[in-house]
Amino acid sequence: AQSVTQLDSQVPVFEEAPVELRCNYSSSVSVYLFWYVQYPNQGLQLLLKYLSGSTLVKGINGFEAEFNKSQTSFHLRKPSVHISDTAEYFCAVILRQGAQKLVFGQGTRLTINP
């Protein structure tokens, strides 16, 4: 079975500061990795995904993430955050073979202070 652990439930940062949201996963088989964002009272929007190739992936809104196979991590980063980045962020994995269900972490609430 797969599991995802988001190491911080809440991350407060000041506007224009850098941010890192941490994600570790556990799986005995190969997985694809994703980060989704959820704005208040909305559904999930795909930020970025790692399928194969370069371990540094770039997504929308200036976010990027790095896949580290040895540490089974997929941390999300942004060099300078904006007030509009305030949201809940979810890390997720899905099996490469027989893909059916996304397995999500508990989420990290990113709060941007002016």
Partner 1 sequence: ETGVTQSPTHLIKTRGQQVTLRCSSQSGHNTVSWYQQALGQGPQFIFQYYREEENGRGNFPPRFSGLQFPNYSSELNVNALELDDSALYLCASSLRDSSYEQYFGPGTRLTVT
Q: Report the interface residues with partner 1, using CB under 8 A.
A: 4, 32, 36, 42-46, 49, 51, 90, 92, 94-96, 99-107
Closest CA to 5 of 24, 20, 22: 24
For the bound state, the minimum distance from the C-beta of residue 34 to partner 1, rounded and expressed in Å, comes to: 8
Whose Cβ is closer to partner 1: residue 92's or residue 112's?
92
For the bound state, the minimum distance from the C-beta of residue 107 to partner 1, rounded and expressed in Å, comes to: 5
For the bound state, the minimum distance from the C-beta of residue 73 to partner 1, rounded and expressed in Å, comes to: 17
Cβ atoms of 36 and 101 closer than 8 Å? no
Cβ atoms of 78 and 18 closer than 8 Å? yes
Whose Cβ is closer to partner 1: residue 13's or residue 95's?
95
